[in-house]
Amino acid sequence: MAIREILEVPDPRLKVVSEPVTAFDGELKTLVEDMFETMYAANGIGLAAIQVGVPRRVLVIDLQPDDPDAEPEVCDHGGHQHTHQPTKNEPRIFVNPEILDPAEDLVTYQEGCLSVPEIYADVDRPAACRVRWQDLEGNVHEEQMEGLMATCIQHEMDHLEGILFIDHLSRLKRQMALKKLQKLRQAA
């Protein structure tokens, strides 16, 4: 496994439309492993392959990444003490994902993106959607997504079309966000 470089705005590769995966091979497995390692190292909850420069329709999501700085929780029940990590990984892999029927009602989440570091903004998206995807072996799955998972997968699927969350903002808000990012980079 290896941590790969995450592309950041205004890298033109982030605007590329990703191609479907046709080979469910070792290269795909390596890509997915590297994407997880890259995402966890950056404390992200989702990553699209194009964010590491690979224009393929592959997403990884983990809404419960381990917080490496978190103190283990000490539990005391049943007359004995034990410790455990407060969060547990829930890695999800989506190859060639499709959204089948987005809900009409919208929900607003404050979104961020590893390719637009330090910038957060409210985005409206369908509150729920049915998603069909393939796993690493090419098997097809379908599931109704709600809550943060619905928002996250729609955000990641946008990356496959070359769309960033800031593209959902008004022109003025997008310009303000990019200006803020520029200032943060200059200060770094």
CB of 47 to Ni ion, least distance (A): 7
Interacting stretch for Ni ion, rule CB under 5 A, among 89-97, 111-119, 133-141, 171-179? 111-119
Q: By C-beta, is 32 or 113 nearer to Ni ion? A: 113
Interacting stretch for Ni ion, rule CB under 5 A, among 2-10, 26-34, 93-101, 112-120? 112-120
Enumerate the β-bridge partners of residue 75.
82
| 94 vs 47: CA distance, rounded Å | 10
Between the CA of residue 142 and those of 132, 137, 160, what are the distances in Å?
A: 4, 15, 19
Nearest-CB residue for Ni ion: 113
Determine, following the binding rule CB under 5 A, whether residue 9 of this chain makes contact with Ni ion: no
CB neighbours of 161 closer than 8 A, spacing ≥ 6? 17, 18
Residue 156 bears catalytic tag: yes
x-or-dash pattern for Ni ion, window 37-76, by CB under 5 A? ----------------------------------------
Interacting stretch for Ni ion, rule CB under 5 A, among 2-10, 26-34, 109-117, 136-144? 109-117
8 Å CB contact between 154 and 147: no
DSSP string covering 16-78: SPPBPP---SHHHHHHHHHHHHHHHHTT-SEEEGGGGT--BSEEEE-SS---TTPPPEEEEET
Number of amino acids touching Ni ion (CB under 5 A): 1
The one among 59, 61, 113, 131 contacting Ni ion by CB under 5 A: 113
Q: How many Cα neighbours within 13 Å face the side chain of 170?
A: 3
Residues involved in catalysis: 156
**Residues lying near Ni ion in the complex (CB under 5 A):** 113
